[in-house]
Structure 1
Amino acid sequence: MRILLILIFAPLIALTLMYFLFPGRLLALGRWLLRKRGGTVQKSVTVDGRAWPYLEGGDPAKPLLLLVHGFSGDKDNWSMIAPYLTRDYHIISPDLPGFGENERDPALAYDIEAQTRRLKAFADALGLARPHIAGNSMGGWIALRYALDYPDALASLILIDNAGVLGANESDLQKQAVDEDYNPLVLKNLDDADRLVAMVVHKPPFIPKRLRPALYADGLRYRDQLDTIFWIIANEARDHPLNDRLGEVKVPTLILWGRHDRVIDVSCVAALEAGIAGSTSHIMEHVGHVPMVEDPKGTAAVMKGFLAKL
């Protein structure tokens, strides 16, 4: 009985101690468990002298999905959806330059054309021949630009609440970011975290206070650089949207959106549908800007249903 009690309570005690004494290690454990559940492992490849960390999972013999994260995100934005994809697909999700564990050189160009060119070089370095490409937010804009700049280098396009197009209605983000005095997607401090999370997800999860310093450490550490990158792409989205070039997209395309997206308004779906001939669209009624995080199983089902018909 004593051994049984030890086996039951020892892990709980260890987790409690980690929560209070080593919250960063607890978050690292959670990240490791998510990757384990999704069958992904971290790898790295050098591209043009720069190390690209990325996650890889699934059978390399199966169709390839290249997953591109959004602004202020990283490769683990796809870890929650990975368990629903790796049984049927080979997935790769990199950290883009300026984000995650990739190089954060402030001297780099962070416009969408530059990031798209780097993503193509990453794909070439790994020998990724005509992957299916899915991107969320800024990553969706990069994925869309990839389809325009390298039309023969991808098999299909999945746009998840992508930036880079204008809809009929302004989003809450657009209304708030009327000038460069206020950035709704950059943290001011830890107390600002609840506001930011509520901007991105429809039903914000409870985040224990003790975990917040570790969880938002990178966002605060790189706040000024993230602010600079944000305004580069925000001004590009306003002044040079891709609406007029959508007719150039020739690959099968899925448009997937959260009805309650406050960052990029759902009216963009109609603009994308009208511009991309033969595209398929799906609006998820219960999520916001990051469907693959808010409802990974449902998002994966929509993606897999689309890909199965190709």
Structure 2
Amino acid sequence: MAVRLTRARTVALVATVLVCAVAAWIWREPMAPVRAGMALQGWWIGLWEQRLVVGDHRWVYDEREAADPAAPTLVMVHGFTGSKENWYPLAERLGGHYRLVIPDLPGWGESQRIDGADYGFSAQADRLAQFLQRVRREGSPIVLLGHSMGGGIAAVAAARHPHVVARVGLIDAAGVRFRDNRFGIDVLAGENPFAVDDAASLQRYLDTVFHDRSVQPAIPWPASRAVIDWRIAQAPFEQQVLDRIGRGGERFLPGEMAAAIRQPALLLWCRQDRVIDPSAMTLYARQMPQAIQVSLDGCGHMSIMEKPDDVAAAVALLIQRGTSR
């Protein structure tokens, strides 16, 4: 009996220590459980986290090898307030056909942010080009996919560095003077339409970027509280970036630079996009007449999460029609 009691007390003590350790972990880093859950999701679909210092920034990115070493390398660049995890639904559907490299852009997610640094279209495109030079492999052409803000960055990088980017896909991409909508008007008025400071604004943010509520990521409490607190802390940085890409002199730089893109290209939009109005695709197409144009129905700004099967098919079409460099 004494042995059983001792074992029971030991188990209870270990459990208490573990609970306290987890509580301390959450208290010190409220987003830690959320990030751990996302990392588990990435591991489940075969992605492995990597870290690389390029220039003056530390990049954190996910990578998955292809079955064929000569398969194209797909580099996927997220949008404003986004992260590498936004690409997971698409990554899952691409199977092992391509090598995948999915970074958090400098300043975002788990990659390094430097106070006072420029995180606009031009500076980020140059950083991205340096990153591509480091991760590229001989015989594996780079297919650069950019979503939203990441699409604008990808457009500038592809235009400036055609020797690195073999093909480019712009998905719901920022960087042109699209038809006025509520989002664009608010940005020009100095606001951040994506701002989150409570549960109601978190839901409003999700409703703005997703057309279909059934595919919105579930963020139950206490994860929702951690996400809200995180977004509150990010508000000054988000405004700083919007000042450059939404209201500054380079807000239309991607559309201007797109005329220099000669690589095989893809333009993809959702008809219900309430952030970057679908009229943007027509504007980009005028600059990139070689681009495949894909218009999807029943999805909003987050096509890569709402319609990953259709986006995967469009990416495959881009690669099939493209030519290696």
TM-score (norm 2): 0.82
1:37 and 2:44 aligned: yes
Partners of 2:245 and 2:251 within 8 A in 1: no
Partner of 1:162: 173
Runs of 4+ with >2 A deviation: 21-30, 125-130, 175-178, 188-191, 204-211, 214-218, 236-247
Match of 1:67 among 63, 76, 79: 76
Partner of 2:10: none
Q: CA deviation at 1:185?
A: 1.7
- The residue identity in structure 2 corresponding to 1:260 is Q
Q: CA deviation at 1:96?
A: 1.0
Q: How many equivalent pairs are there?
A: 289
- The residue identity in structure 2 corresponding to 1:88 is H
CA distance in 2, matches of 1:301, 1:37: 22
Partner of 2:4: none
1:87 and 2:66 aligned: no
Partner of 1:171: 181
Match of 1:119 among 87, 106, 128: 128
CA distance in 2, matches of 1:28, 1:245: 35
Residue by residue over 1:52-81, the C-alpha shift from the partner in whole angstroms, topping out at 9 and shown as x without a partner, is 110001324421101111111111111221
CA distance in 1, matches of 2:299, 2:293: 15
Partners of 2:188 and 2:246 within 8 A in 1: no
Partners of 1:58 and 1:86 within 8 A in 2: no
Partner of 1:54: 61
Partners of 1:38 and 1:84 within 8 A in 2: no
- The residue identity in structure 2 corresponding to 1:170 is D
Partner of 1:271: 283
- The residue identity in structure 2 corresponding to 1:234 is G
Question: Aligned with 2:163: secondary structure?
Answer: coil
Residue by residue over 1:86-131, the C-alpha shift from the partner in whole angstroms, topping out at 9 and shown as x without a partner, is 4110010111111001112221011211101111111122245641
Match of 1:134 among 140, 145, 152: 145
Partner of 2:259: 247
Of residues 139-148 and 207-216 in structure 1, the stretch that sits farther from structure 2 once superposed is: 207-216
1:143 and 2:154 aligned: yes
Residue by residue over 1:140-165, the C-alpha shift from the partner in whole angstroms, topping out at 9 and shown as x without a partner, is 00110011111222110100000011
1:152 and 2:163 aligned: yes
CA distance in 2, matches of 1:155, 1:242: 18
Partner of 1:7: none
Question: Aligned with 2:301: secondary structure?
Answer: coil
CA distance in 1, matches of 2:221, 2:187: 28
1:207 and 2:216 aligned: no
- The residue identity in structure 1 corresponding to 2:315 is M
- CA gap 1:25/1:101 in 2 versus in 1, 3 angstroms: closer
Of residues 53-62 and 280-289 in structure 1, the stretch that sits farther from structure 2 once superposed is: 53-62
Q: CA deviation at 1:166?
A: 1.9
* Alignment gaps of 5+ in structure 1: 1-16
Partner of 2:108: 99
Q: CA deviation at 1:41?
A: 0.5
Question: Aligned with 2:81: secondary structure?
Answer: coil
CA distance in 1, matches of 2:273, 2:231: 21
Match of 2:233 among 215, 218, 221: 221
Question: Aligned with 1:303: secondary structure?
Answer: helix
Question: Aligned with 2:184: secondary structure?
Answer: helix
Of residues 45-54 and 212-221 in structure 1, the stretch that sits farther from structure 2 once superposed is: 212-221
- The residue identity in structure 1 corresponding to 2:280 is C
Partners of 1:137 and 1:163 within 8 A in 2: yes
1:301 and 2:313 aligned: yes
TM-score (norm 1): 0.86
Partner of 2:300: 288
Residue by residue over 1:157-216, the C-alpha shift from the partner in whole angstroms, topping out at 9 and shown as x without a partner, is 10000001123x213211223321x21022233431011111111123353243201334
CA distance in 1, matches of 2:297, 2:54: 39
Residue by residue over 1:22-79, the C-alpha shift from the partner in whole angstroms, topping out at 9 and shown as x without a partner, is 7966534531332123211100011124221100013244211011111111111112
* Alignment gaps of 5+ in structure 2: 1-18
Q: CA deviation at 1:231?
A: 1.9
